[in-house]
Amino acid sequence: MDYKKRLEELIKERALKVADEPIFKLSSGKMSNYYLDLRTITLDPEGGYVIGNLVYQMVKDKNPDAVGGLTLGADPIAYATSLVSYLNNNPIKPFVVRKEPKGHGTGKQIEGNVKPGDNVYILEDVVTTAGSSLKACKVAKEFGLNILGVIAIVDREEGGEENLRKEGFELIPIFKVSHFLKK
């Protein structure tokens, strides 16, 4: 199966919403005339299978210890990638970065079987300004994780790549939004 082609089809069929006027409010607060609801894919059995295989193929030769990112967007991507990696006898652990440290117990902000020094990829469904990605990178770096890059399903091409680069992180998008919004 061509996982990238199938993911493109799923995004066009389920996730991309386009309007004539900016009616969609983004997490950045900005209004847009299009919206990518990738949870319709990441939280779907076929979508998880496709994304897990695609991300695994992207990272397997770099030998990461783990993949994860800021909850909730990164969680299903990390779990799917981890499951596919295990099925390929090359386990890559998933991890979750909480938005805030846990208010009880050990007070952790990173959940999962990662330890300082582990090589990781930060995952993201959609990158606009990279605010969520940068938060995840900051927490992961403070924890002692070595960040190999930030993988996004779609880069909205609105400054995220530049913002990540300024902080020393590489954005590795599967798609750029211009691929879907061709005139």
Residues in binding site: 98-99, 102, 104, 124-132, 156
DSSP H or E stretch at residue 154: strand 146-155
For residue 124 the two structure tokens come to: 């993201």
Compute the distance between CA of residue 71 and CA of residue 135 in angstroms, rounded to an integer. 11
SS3 label, residue 120: strand
Which residues are known binding-site members for 5-phospho-alpha-D-ribose 1-diphosphate? 98-99, 102, 104, 124-132
Which residues are known binding-site members for orotate? 128, 156
Buried b (16+ CB within 10 A) or exposed e, 147-160: bbbbbbbbbbebeb
